[in-house]
Structure 1
Amino acid sequence: MLDRAPLGVAVRIARIDWNAMSADEGRRLREFGLMEGVEITPLHRGSIFSRDPLALAVGRMRVIIRARQAAMITVEAAAGDERRSA
């Protein structure tokens, strides 16, 4: 899941549980370009005491999403990365 993906390592979105989120949340993620097959890089998480929010690099954009939303996104190793799925 994206909420547990290592920071600074590119991953590919394998699946998004669109049914687990509201229509507004889904629309917002799509507007940010977060869809199956897209490569993203988790950059940093909230404060020391919280994992919320999560900053991502999506192409040249920087996007902030909630940890709850990130938990609905399954990721896998990006092309050329031999690590296992997150």
Structure 2
Amino acid sequence: MNPKLDSAQLGVAVRISRIDWDQMSHDEGRRLREFGLMEGIEVTPLHRGSLFSRDPLALAIGRMQVIIRARQAAMIEVASTAP
């Protein structure tokens, strides 16, 4: 099993290998798809909420920056982009 996006190192690009769509509500899944979060794309975790919370998580997807909840990031498996 691959690591999850919620524990990925900040500033290091990762590739989404699997998203557990069944764990999300229809609206959550639709929102993430609208952001372009799909298997195979590269994302870079930028920063987490605050000193006391890991929620939310800011991501760079191409030239766009989006915010997702840590709970949603925990449903996304990632892999290294290194060859």
TM norm structure 1: 0.92
Counterpart CA distance in 1 for 2:61 and 2:31 is 14
- C-alpha deviation, 1:53, in angstroms: 0.1
Is 1:67 aligned with 2:67? Answer: no
1:32 equivalent in structure 2: 35
What is the one-letter code of the residue matched to 1:39? E
TM norm structure 2: 0.95
Is 1:42 aligned with 2:42? Answer: no
Counterpart CA distance in 1 for 2:53 and 2:11 is 18
Structure 1 runs, 4 residues or longer, greater than 4 Å off: none
Gaps of 5+ in 1: none
The percent of aligned pairs where both chains have the same amino acid is 77
Gaps of 5+ in 2: none
What is the one-letter code of the residue matched to 1:19? D
